[in-house]
């Protein structure tokens, strides 16, 4: 069972028996990842696909696109396909070109726009 809350089980306003049962297992405190960790995630995604992601491209993506992991994964997959189709590595001009041709829906790339 996975339970999430904004404070540890011992501090939750619950019945005592429920609070102690929740505190019985492992309790982790999660922190949101910062920009450096997200850059590292993008770089690792690119590397798994055999791509090199220059730091300025990662910074550009993080400044202009949604920053949640589902969006970052989707963007990297779409950039991989775009770079393969163009037979070019990931560069700022290629990324700008890709973003200009995609329709974005909820921060995720969709089918390319038809000229």
Domain assignments of the chain as residue spans, ordered by start: 1-30, 35-112
pLDDT for 109: 63
Q: How far apart are CA 63 and CA 104, in angstroms?
A: 15
Residues 59-87 have pLDDT tens digits of 999 998 888 888 889 889 989 999 999 99
% of the chain with per-residue pLDDT over 70: 89
Alpha helices in 25-68 (DSSP H): 35-48, 55-64
Mean pLDDT computed over 91-96: 94
Q: How far apart are CA 57 and CA 66, in angstroms?
A: 15
17/106: higher pLDDT: 17
CATH of region 35-112:
1.10.8
């Amino acid at each position: 069972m996975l339970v999430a809350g904004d404070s540890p089980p011992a501090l939750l306003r619950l019945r005592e028996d429920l609070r102690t049962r929740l505190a019985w297992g492992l309790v982790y405190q999660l922190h949101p990842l910062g920009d450096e960790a997200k850059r590292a995630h993008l770089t690792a995604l690119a590397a798994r696909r055999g791509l090199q992601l220059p730091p300025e491209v990662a910074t550009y993506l993080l400044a202009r696109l949604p920053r949640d992991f589902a969006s970052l994964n989707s963007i990297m997959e779409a950039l991989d396909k775009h770079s393969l189709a163009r037979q070019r590595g990931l560069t700022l001009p290629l990324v700008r070109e890709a973003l200009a041709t995609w329709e974005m829906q909820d921060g995720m790339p969709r089918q390319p726009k038809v000229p």
